[in-house]
């Protein structure tokens, strides 16, 4: 599998996507640092950009990479190579490149301009979202042989988790404002990796007071050891489930 992984990484580097993506992240981070010297505001700005851009880029790139290497994948499947190794080599290469771009693109400017401990959480959220949406993109890709349809499904995942889901949650909270919704809202947060990453980061910036009683409840939960472990476990589940589902379909798919 390591030879397949090495080839997949070489193929991605050759496409220059990793370099362009990393440079884009670096320019975004530097631009934000030039505007403000407040580390909390910088972290919040980087978070907002990350929550929109990282899932979108991850979904599109992972889908495009899968179909661009489809002929190579079919060739490897005709060889005495395990399907699991072929699948994992492709998706791990994509995840590694996307994660490395975030670590370098956001991490280096943070080290040069200064950052607090929240930088590690911010980078962790970015890596987690990259893995989640790369997994969802591969799941969409193995479900159909049509590249355009697969990209459409991947974009649908991004639109749903980044835009539609929040609208649904806000409507639910507004409609049931007379009822205690702290625990149900917490459960709804766990059902969306983007919202989960957003809440975890916001709790580290000490701005929960702006969110009223619900913010205080979240601060109490996510600030505790139990809350940190549970939220980390849920994010890990989000990282594993799409990959596991995609690999199961890939093993049974007739290419």
pLDDT of residue 152: 94
- 46-75 pLDDT, tens per residue? 888 888 999 999 999 999 999 998 888 888
- 76-127 pLDDT, tens per residue? 888 888 889 999 999 999 999 999 999 998 888 877 876 666 778 888 999 9
pLDDT of residue 9: 87
pLDDT of residue 215: 54
Pairwise CA distance, residues 156 & 161, whole Å: 9
Q: At what angle do helices 83-113 and 39-68 cross, to 10 degrees?
A: 150
Handedness of CA 3, 58, 51, 234 (dihedral sign): negative
pLDDT of residue 221: 67
DSSP one-letter string for 38-89: -HHHHHHHHHHHHHHHHHHHHHHHHHHHHHHTHHHHHHHHTSS--HHHHHHH
- 145-199 pLDDT, tens per residue? 889 999 999 999 999 999 899 888 878 877 876 776 677 888 888 899 998 888 8
pLDDT of residue 213: 44
């Amino acid at each position: 599998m390591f030879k397949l992984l090495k080839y997949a990484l070489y193929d991605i580097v050759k496409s220059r996507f990793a370099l362009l993506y990393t440079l884009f992240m670096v320019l975004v981070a530097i631009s934000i640092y030039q505007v403000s010297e407040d580390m909390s505001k910088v972290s919040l700005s980087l978070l907002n950009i990350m929550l929109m851009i990282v899932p979108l880029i991850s979904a599109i790139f992972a889908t495009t990479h899968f179909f661009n290497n489809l002929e190579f994948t079919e060739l490897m499947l005709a060889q005495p190579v395990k399907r699991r190794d072929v699948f994992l080599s492709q998706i791990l290469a994509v995840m590694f490149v996307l994660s490395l771009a975030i670590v370098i693109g956001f991490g280096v400017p943070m080290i040069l301009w200064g950052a607090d401990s929240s930088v590690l959480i911010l980078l962790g959220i970015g890596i987690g979202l990259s893995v989640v949406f790369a997994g969802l993109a591969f799941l969409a890709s193995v479900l159909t042989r049509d590249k355009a349809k697969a990209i459409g499904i991947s974009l649908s995942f991004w639109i749903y988790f980044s835009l539609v889901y929040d609208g649904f949650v806000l409507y639910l909270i507004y409609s049931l404002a007379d009822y205690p919704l702290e625990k149900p809202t917490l459960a709804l947060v766990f059902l969306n990796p983007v919202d989960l990453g957003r809440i975890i980061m916001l709790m580290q910036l000490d701005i929960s007071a702006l969110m009223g009683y619900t913010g205080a409840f979240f601060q109490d939960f996510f600030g505790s050891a139990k809350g940190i472990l549970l939220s980390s476990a849920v994010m890990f589940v989000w990282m594993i489930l799409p990959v596991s589902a995609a690999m199961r379909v890939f093993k049974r798919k007739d290419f």
